[in-house]
Amino acid sequence: MKKYILSFALVLMSLIAFAQTDYEKIMTEKVAKIETCKTPEDFQTLSNDFQRIGSKESSQWLPPYYAAFSQIQKGRIMMRNGNMQDLDGVAAQAEKYLGTAQNLAGADNAEIHLLRKMAYSLRMMVNPQQRFMTDGARASEELGRAEKLDPANPRIALIKAEDTYFTPEQYGGSKSKGIEMFKDALAKFNAYKPKTALDPNWGRAEAEYFLSLPAEKK
């Protein structure tokens, strides 16, 4: 009897190990696609993929996190294309996924707070003058929470650099200061080690892009 119990336990452990490996494999494939997505439609498809993974792996916080991140990247492309009117809906979808991720990961997750900041920033861009004191303030609060939890996080430094670079000088921004902050972000990327191979590791290419711009564009 003990022999059969032991055999059953070994089979069960093998199945669990296989499932974990399968999850990690598909997540690795999907995370790699973040770098190749170019359009809002690409990111919507990727967000849907992560949501499907999350519905099967309901104890994992990373699938809903990446579903939210894909929505935010979709919104950032829409913003660059001048499509501001739909950003509220995109931000709302991202916030829905972030709620799920936070329930699983806990309230002290800097990566989730950073994405909340980015979602509020999307909302603010619908009407910056009217929303600066509401969504803009909430974005700043979330950024502050993220930085307090993980001050060495390069993605936090990256988003701060972006904000400085794109904010007009009369409102406290500066392209030259932004470039210096991108240098700081890149140094943090060089030193930062994600906890696992699937943990957030995006952003380095963006810092490198801004630092590679010709002097006249900086």
- Closest among 207, 200, 152 to 34, alpha carbons compared: 200
Residue 214 has pLDDT above 90, yes or no: no
Banded model confidence at residue 53, pLDDT cuts 50, 70, 90:
very high
State percent of the chain over pLDDT 70.
89
pTM, rounded to two decimals: 0.89
Taking phi over 0 as left and psi of -120 to 50 as alpha, with beta for the rest, 203 belongs to: left
Given a contact cutoff of 8 angstroms between Cβ atoms, the answer to whether 136 and 120 are in contact is: yes
DSSP the chain: -HHHHHHHHHHHHHHHHHHHHHHHHHHHHHHHHTTT--SHHHHHHHHHHHHHHHHHSTT-SHHHHHHHHHHHHHHHHHHHTT--TTHHHHHHHHHHHHHHHHHHH-S--HHHHHHHHHHHHHHHTTSHHHHIIIIIHHHHHHHHHHHHH-TT-HHHHHHHHHHHHHS-GGGT--HHHHHHHHHHHHHHHHH---SSTTS----HHHHHHHHTS-GGG-
Residue 102 has pLDDT above 80, yes or no: yes
Residue 7 has pLDDT above 60, yes or no: no
pLDDT, tens digit, for every residue of 156-189? 999 999 999 999 998 899 999 999 999 999 999 9
Residue 7 or 47, more confident:
47
pLDDT, tens digit, for every residue of 8-21? 444 444 444 444 57
pLDDT of 11 reads 45
pLDDT of 217 reads 65
pLDDT of 13 reads 47
Mean pLDDT for all residues in the chain: 91
Residue 191 has pLDDT above 90, yes or no: yes
Cα–Cα distances (Å) from 171 to 83, 85, 181, 216, in that order, read 23, 24, 17, 22
pLDDT of 20 reads 52
Residue 195 or 10, more confident:
195
* Mean pLDDT score, 178-202: 97
* Mean pLDDT score, 99-123: 98
pLDDT of 218 reads 62
The token duo for 63 is 């699938």
Structural domains of the chain ordered from first start: 14-150 (1.25.40), 152-218 (no CATH)
